[in-house]
Structure 1
Amino acid sequence: MSVLPIPASGLPDGAVMPDHTLSIVVPMYNEAENVEPLLVRIHQAMERYGQPWEVVLVDDGSTDATVSEIRRLAAHYGPHVHAVELVRNYKQTAAMQAGIDAARGDVIATIDGDLQNDPYDIPRMVYRLLSEDLDLVVGWRKDRQEGFFMRRLPSRIANALIARVTGVRLKDYGCSLKVYRGNVIRSVKLYGEMHRFIPAWLATVTTPRRIAQEVVTHHARIHGQSKYGISRTFRVVLDLVFMYFFMRYRTRPGHFFGGIGIVLGALGSLILAYLLCLKLLFAEDIGTRPMLFTGFFLLIAGVQMVTSGVLAEMLARVYHEANGASAYVARPQPAPSDNDGWLRPSRPS
């Protein structure tokens, strides 16, 4: 088992961490070789944390020994290490939502399970969140340890595009290492590929002024394979389109669909009015003209854009939020023992 060298905590000299409870959420998929070194690393980073904390490991339907490793190590470390086992692979966003749902902390940190994020950055990010009264601190992998053309360049383009579309200016949307106020992240629901848009998503319930970014350490992958492929790019583009709509029109969706509908309906109405003038003023036969069908088509399409589009969007929002619909199904886990499930700092006698 390889363990990375231990850096300094990064907290300012004399800094006192405000009272809180912390949940560290780790979605994992086929990361059997990384479970143990990651937990070792987390416990090293949190050894002198001084506040109650827990780890929530989410197995996203792994096909290797990840779930058995999580079970073994959860039993080894004790009740502050919790397991959430999804019945199949729901992808990263749903796995992250499952971990957030299971987390109990006032503050929630999310981190990848591949050892590329460094748990030693978590205390510093939590301190900044609480001391500066923020709702979200986003990790920025300034010195990213990955290929330029296959990963870093596409990531820079994507970050610039997302920032422009959403209006939330960040340099690294894709970094999984983020620290949230629990009540804020619990106020939204994640689905699709929305985990990479969380800062923009949260900006709909808070304000960009309460979102900050922090330079974090990034390591090269040691074990396992990357789960990112070209197919994810297309899913991200589709979710970005939805994000643009939701952020601009979430409280007035009729303005979006209605605008398109009015344009289509106006074109259809003009065509039909023109044909009506030909019929009434010049007694021309318009029954076989293609423009007649085009006019009716545009008019009907305009009405449908206003009604069907708004109805579909609002039904989707009701399904995912008002009814408490979930994007995953998890296996039931035994209740915590007499220990309340937090690893609390030892107090001097």
Structure 2
Amino acid sequence: MNISVVIPLLNEQESLNELYNWIANVMQSNSFSYEIIFIDDGSTDGSWDTISALSTKDPNVKGIRFLKNFGKSQALHSGFKEAQGDVVITMDADLQDNPEEIPELYDMITKEGYDLISGWKKKRYDSVIAKNLPSKLFNAAARKTSGVKLHDFNCGLKAYKNIVVKNIDVHGEMHRYIPVLAKNAGFAKIGEKVVLHQARKYGKTKFGMSRFINGFLDLVTIWFMSRFGKRPMHFFGLIGTLLFIIGFCFSLYLGIDKLFIETKGRLIAQRPEFYVALTSMILGTQFFLAGFLGEIILTSKRSKERYSIAEKIHL
């Protein structure tokens, strides 16, 4: 199979038929063998009924329905797990991503040898204040922190080699950082393509300003995971050891001072150095234990999915 199109969605019933027809026309005109995997992330508007009807009409349409809204990352994870195409394309269901980009994305993966191509919505039709400006700030911070030189990390239109999506773990809200996850997994050839951005035709956006706050928090997480995810002891253990040494040095000083130097009758517990030593040694021990526990946790494998599937179609 040439292409798997993975489409997470939440309450996008109005756009699904149009999106399906658009994708199917592109695939058929380019003689691609394909599958379209819709992941219904807990919709309440009848989106699943539309997906079911499309799957009855076309066996290339497949569907996954979550029991409730688990988030875009979990939806992508389930879609990646089922994708069979040599190239996997992700796109949003709101008609803001253009399926006409798919053939060129496919060629960049198969002919130019890229592991991942990320779309760049250079000209956007979003609100400048509510979405455009925060997005630019977010992308600048992501580039600086991750070392991945992309203009638009959060663009839903991306193309991957199948091996890439099978070897990354998209969880929490890490869908924004899939290129970084791919880089950390060893897939270094990451490219970018300017893609068309279209104004939303139906409904309203599901994302608010809170997504940028969450995005920056996730950025801190992925920075830490990139540098210390495989060896948490290198971070927590180092800080813990330094704090413990500082506390021990203060304790040693207080002991020597008490035994050999005039202290003018002051009790050790009345001196500020005592509390510095006590706090440093306690914190140092806790940091060291955190690193030790992190190493133990890494040895255990995730055995439970982070979402619950109600039903599937053709999968």
Fold equivalence (TM over 0.5): yes
Higher fraction of helix: 2
Which residue of structure 2 aligns with residue 151 of structure 1?
A: 131
The residue number in structure 2 matching 1:125 is: 105
Give the CA deviation at 1:138. 0.5
- Which residue identity does 2:259 align to in structure 1? L
Task: Report the residue type matching 1:280 in the other structure.
Answer: L
Aligned-partner Cα distance in 2 for 1:318–1:148: 45
Q: How many percent of aligned residue pairs carry the same amino acid?
A: 33
Which range is displaced more, 288-297 or 40-49?
288-297
Q: How far apart are residue 263 of structure 1 and its match?
A: 2.8
Work out the number of aligned pairs and report it.
Answer: 312
1: CA distance between counterparts of 2:71 and 2:296?
A: 25
* TM-aligned CA deviation for residue 307 of structure 1: 2.1
- Cα displacement string for residues 255-308 of structure 1 (whole angstroms, at most 9, x for unaligned residues): 211232133223212221221122111364213445323312211211221221
* SS of structure 2 residue aligned to 1:168: coil
Q: Which residue of 1 aligns with 2:78?
A: 98
How far is 1:31 from its partner? 0.6
1:271 is the counterpart of 2:250: yes
Return 215-224 or 141-150, whichever deviates more: 141-150
Deviations 1:78-116 (A, max 9, x none): 211001001100011111111111211121110001100
Matches of 2:115 and 2:276 in 1, distance apart? 51
Gaps of 5+ in 2: none
- Greater Cα offset, 239-248 or 108-117: 239-248
Contact 2:134/2:212 (8 A) holds in 1: no
Find the counterpart in structure 2 of residue 79 from structure 1: 59
Amino acid at match of 2:160: Y
| 1:172-191 alpha-carbon deviations (Å, 9 max, x no partner) | 00101000011112111111
Measure the CA separation in 2 of the matches of 1:198 and 1:90: 18
What amino acid is the match of 1:230?
Answer: M
CA shift for structure 1 position 335: 4.9
Shift of 1:63: 1.5
Relative to structure 1, the CA distance from residue 176 to residue 247 in structure 2 (aligned partners, 3 Å threshold; closer, same or farther) is same
Equivalent of residue 108 in structure 1, options 88, 96, 112: 88
String of CA shifts for 1:183-237, please: whole Å, max 9, x gaps: 11211111111001000110012243x1000111110001011111122222222
Q: State the match for 1:61 in structure 2.
A: 42
Partner of 2:283: 301
Provide the rounded CA distance (Å) in 1 between the counterparts of 2:47 and 2:36.
16
The residue correspondences of 1:188-337 to structure 2 (distance < 5 A) are 188-208=168-188, 210-282=189-261, 284=263, 285-312=267-294, 315=297, 317=298, 322-333=301-312, 335=314
Which of 16, 33, 45 pairs up with 1:52?
Answer: 33
User: 1:25-79 CA deviation, whole Å, 9 max, x = no partner?
Assistant: 0000011111111111111221222231100000000121111111122212x21
Q: Which stretch of structure 1 is more off in the superposition, 259-268 or 129-138? A: 259-268
**Could you tell me which amino acid in structure 2 is paired with residue 99 of structure 1?**
G
Q: Distance in 1 between matches of 2:299 and 2:11?
A: 33
1:24 corresponds to which letter in structure 2? V
Counterparts of 1:220 and 1:120 in 2: how far apart (Å)? 16
Residue in structure 2 matched with residue 13 of structure 1 by the alignment: none
**23-32 vs 264-273, greater mean Cα deviation:** 264-273
Which has the higher mean CA deviation after the structures are superposed, 301-310 or 223-232?
A: 301-310
In the alignment, which residue of structure 1 is the partner of 2:21? 40
Tell me the TM-score normalized by structure 2: 0.93
After superposition, the C-alpha distances for 1:94-147 in whole angstroms (9 at most, x for unaligned) are 111111112111211100011000011011101111111111011011111112
The answer for unaligned runs of 5 or more in structure 1 is: 1-19, 337-349
Q: CA RMSD in A?
A: 1.8
Larger displacement relative to structure 2 (233-242 or 286-295): 286-295
| Mapped partners of 1:314, 1:212: distance in 2 | 36
Distance 1:186 1:40, change over 3 A: same
Determine whether 1:29 maps to 2:13: no
TM-score by length of 1: 0.84
Q: Which residue identity lines up with residue 5 of structure 2 in the other structure? A: I
Structure 1 runs (4+) deviating above 6 angstroms are none
How far apart are the structure 2 equivalents of 1:61 and 1:206?
33
- Deviation larger for 49-58 or 270-279: 270-279
Matches of 1:133 and 1:43, distance apart in 2 = 25
Larger mean Cα displacement after TM superposition, 281-290 or 210-219:
281-290
SS of aligned partner of 1:328:
coil
